[in-house]
Amino acid sequence: MSEIKYTRIGYAVWEITLQCNLACSHCGSRAGKARHQELSTEEALDLVRQLAEVGIKEVTLIGGEAFMRSDWLEIARAINQAGMLCSMTTGGFGISLATAKRMKEAGIKVVSVSIDGGKPETHDRQRGKPGAWHSAFRTMNHLREVGIYFGCNTQINRLSAPEFPMIYEKIRDAGAKAWQIQLTVPMGNAADNAEMLLQPYELLDIYPMLARVAKRAKKEGVRIQAGNNIGYYGPYERLLRGGGNKWRFWQGCGAGLNSIGIEADGKIKGCPSLPTAAYTGGNIRERPLKEIVEQTEELRFNLKAGTPEGTEHLWGFCKTCEFAELCRGGCSWTAHVFFDRRGNNPYCHHRALKQAEKGIRERFYPKVKARGLPFDNGEFALVEEPIDAPLPENDPLHFTSDHAVPGYA
């Protein structure tokens, strides 16, 4: 095989510590305590140099909670000084005005604050900390006061979905300029709390609601950013992914093509969300970043896009889909954490619509438990049943659009 020069990746998401001051029920990394042997300050600053060397243009600092690491602003400052944009994603619990000022001085340009409920009790339930909702909104006030551009991110699941329109109004009023939305999937803690996950057939009610809010957000100047497991060729795809731009639609998993993920102990993946065990290409303590990206299969599997080999991994519904060559099974992370392998994605609006046309309802249930490690997954079984079959009785969180908070639908 001819050598492929490194020109493809421009974005890195860097978990600088796994330590966290929240205990989220959907946390994929099972954050809380620091990882064993997280990178030292010296190693982290050398990694900043390597990121710039390979052409990274933006680095997003995450955790855990990034500010739980004592040298986090030194790392942020180094990223900024190396000519890369430094952004951050935070739970927003405990960022004071003084800290926000220090963030501004260190060169953090953009911050995304996690909000998972329109009501404080809904957010706090998922985030595992009383007062988390109010603290997150105080953080947004501080960011606005010091002049840091900020948006929000929301996990869509059976707990947050009924309040989705309310969440939008709250973050709009707080001054958020952008809103990233993502479906909660069974990785880490969420694999242990499967009852909160949306079932595939519930997408039929979710997406019209998302579309109504997205149309309103566009009019009111808040930019919707669809996460990698949102949409896929349904009637609202272009609206959700590009505000109505006809050329903005899902074009396949970008892991290793336009992004990399970095774990706090130096492991490198093609995407920050991918399971550690299956998708780690190497560790920067053992190999240079450039070498990991250029030579390891775990970061190169998407280079086959557009070739006959690019769809060999597909199975189930995705293998038969008319969008298979373009979509390549949707988000690799989402498919893998459901079925312990990529290539068949149950969280697809197009799929749910096609199955409904045939009178089929898809539903999953846990089959193999996750082991309890950061970024781990179990395995789920998928059931096809008549669309009007009785639903399980022991499923109290079943979602329909009728469950949306009155007055906000």
Over the stretch 243-265, which tens digit does the pLDDT of each residue have?
A: 888 889 999 999 999 999 999 99
pLDDT confidence tier of residue 2, bands split at 50, 70 and 90: very low
Per residue in 107-152, pLDDT (tens digit) is 999 999 999 999 999 999 999 999 999 999 999 999 999 999 999 9
CA distance 110 to 175: 13
Instruction: Determine the average pLDDT of the residues in 280-290.
Output: 97
Q: Can you list the alpha helix ranges (DSSP code H) found in 15-119?
A: 41-53, 72-81, 97-106
Residue 344 token pair: 């068949």
Contact 281, 299 (CB under 8 A): yes
CA distance 179 to 222: 7
pTM: 0.94
Distance of CA 326 to the CA centre of its chain: 21
CB atoms within 10 A of CB 56: 23
Q: Name the residue among 92, 39, 32, 44 with its Cα closest to residue 67.
A: 92
Instruction: Determine the average pLDDT of the residues in 266-295.
Output: 96
pLDDT, position 407 = 52
What does each C-alpha distance from 391 to 158, 313, 362 come to in angstroms?
A: 16, 32, 11
Helix, coil or strand: residue 223 = strand
Question: 154 pairs with which residues across the strands?
Answer: 181
Contact 92, 129 (CB under 8 A): no
pLDDT, position 403 = 64
Radius of gyration of the chain from its Cα atoms, rounded to whole angstroms: 20
Instruction: Determine the average pLDDT of the residues in 274-298.
Output: 96
Helix, coil or strand: residue 287 = coil
The residue count for the chain: 409
Q: Name the residue among 141, 91, 98, 95 with its Cα closest to residue 117.
A: 91
Residue 348 token pair: 């697809």
pLDDT, position 359 = 98
pLDDT, position 187 = 98
As to burial, measured by CB atoms within 10 angstroms (0-12 exposed, 13-18 middle, 19+ buried), residue 289 is buried
pLDDT at 228 over 80: yes
Q: Give the chain's mean pLDDT.
A: 94
pLDDT confidence tier of residue 305, bands split at 50, 70 and 90: confident
Per residue in 182-205, pLDDT (tens digit) is 999 999 999 999 999 999 999 999
Q: Name the residue among 212, 235, 197 with its Cα closest to residue 166.
A: 212
